[in-house]
């Protein structure tokens, strides 16, 4: 079965070109990053902050690979709406609800595209004086960068393609795919 037949049969989805990153590749990378975070933040107050909705699966998997005490927070920003083109405006729709000045904060992000979202989110969070602030992104599309922003850690660098799965959506669909696939848009 090719990817189209598979996703249609297993998930009822159509319109996928190819699998870019498999479930096993994601798992291995998330495990390794969890181990790295475990060592870097041992003995420190750690808060992992996921950006909703795209990073909900990444944050959930990553925090389970972190083997030291940590807290979880979520921030919801809207910059994309339902389409695939960055609006350039970032609104915080749901804030983290914590005094982050007491934590080393690790932002877990699904993908950095233009970089505008993270640039703005980090600016806002830095004003609150966290003990430290780092960004870990699952995916990075450096070719599309417009803002002067780079993650501290990026697990996979991908070409300029629109991807879905493992939390990432196109029009709110495809988030439940366990792998990253290129969408036909
Ligand atoms: P940026 O502000 O352009 O870096 O956009 C980041 C946000 O855009 C991500 O958190 C995603 O929600 C969304 N995004 C960017 N590229 C893709 C993609 O290829 N597939 C799905 N969502 C994407
Ligand atoms: Mg999105």
- Residue-by-residue pLDDT tens, the chain, 185 positions: 777 777 877 788 888 999 999 999 999 999 999 999 999 999 999 999 999 999 999 999 999 999 999 999 999 987 655 555 566 678 899 999 999 999 999 999 999 999 999 999 999 999 999 999 999 999 999 999 999 999 999 999 999 999 999 999 999 999 999 999 999 88
Structure tokens at 124: 């806002």
Q: Given this model, what pLDDT does residue 88 score? A: 63
Q: Given this model, what pLDDT does residue 85 score? A: 57
Tell me how far apart the alpha carbons of residues 132 and 81 are, in angstroms, rounded to a whole number: 30
Cα 175 to averaged position of ligand 1 atoms, centre (Å):
13
In the set 61, 110, 113, 169, the catalytic residue is 113
Q: Given this model, what pLDDT does residue 17 score? A: 92
Tell me how far apart the alpha carbons of residues 146 and 45 are, in angstroms, rounded to a whole number: 33
Ligand 1 proximity of 182 Cβ (cutoff 6 Å): no
Cα 53 to averaged position of ligand 2 atoms, centre (Å):
7
Q: Which ligand is nearest to the CA of 156?
A: 1
169 catalytic, yes or no? Answer: no
Q: Given this model, what pLDDT does residue 171 score? A: 93
For the chain, the DSSP string reads --HHHHHHHHH----EEEEEE-HHHHHHHHHHHHHHHHHHTTTS-EEEEEEETTTHHHHHHHHHT--S--EEEEEEEESSTTSSS--S--EEEE---S-GGGSEEEEEEEEESSSHHHHHHHHHHHTT--SEEEEEEEEE-GGG--SS---SEEEEE--S--EEBTTB-BTTBSTT-SSEEEE--
Q: Given this model, what pLDDT does residue 84 score? A: 56
Tell which one of 89, 93, 113, 161 to mutate to probe ligand 1, the residue whose CB is within 8 A of the most ligand atoms.
113
């Amino acid at each position: 079965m090719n990817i189209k037949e598979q996703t249609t049969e297993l998930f009822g989805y159509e319109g996928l070109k190819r699998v870019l990153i498999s479930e096993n590749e994601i798992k291995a990378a998330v495990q390794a990053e969890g181990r790295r975070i475990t060592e870097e933040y041992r003995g420190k107050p750690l808060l992992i902050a996921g950006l909703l909705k795209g990073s909900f699966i990444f944050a959930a998997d990553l925090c389970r690979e972190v083997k030291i005490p940590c807290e979880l927070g979520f921030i919801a920003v809207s910059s994309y709406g339902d389409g695939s083109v960055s609006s350039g405006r970032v609104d915080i729709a749901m804030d983290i609800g914590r005094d982050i000045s007491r934590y080393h904060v690790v932002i877990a992000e699904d993908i950095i595209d233009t970089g505008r979202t993270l640039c703005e989110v980090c600016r806002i969070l830095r004003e609150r004086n966290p003990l430290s602030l780092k960004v870990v992104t699952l995916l990075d599309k450096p070719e599309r960068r417009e803002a002067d922003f780079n993650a501290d850690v990026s697990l996979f660098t991908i070409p300029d393609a629109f991807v879905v799965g493992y939390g990432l959506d196109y029009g709110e669909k495809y988030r439940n795919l366990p792998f990253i696939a290129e969408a036909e848009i």
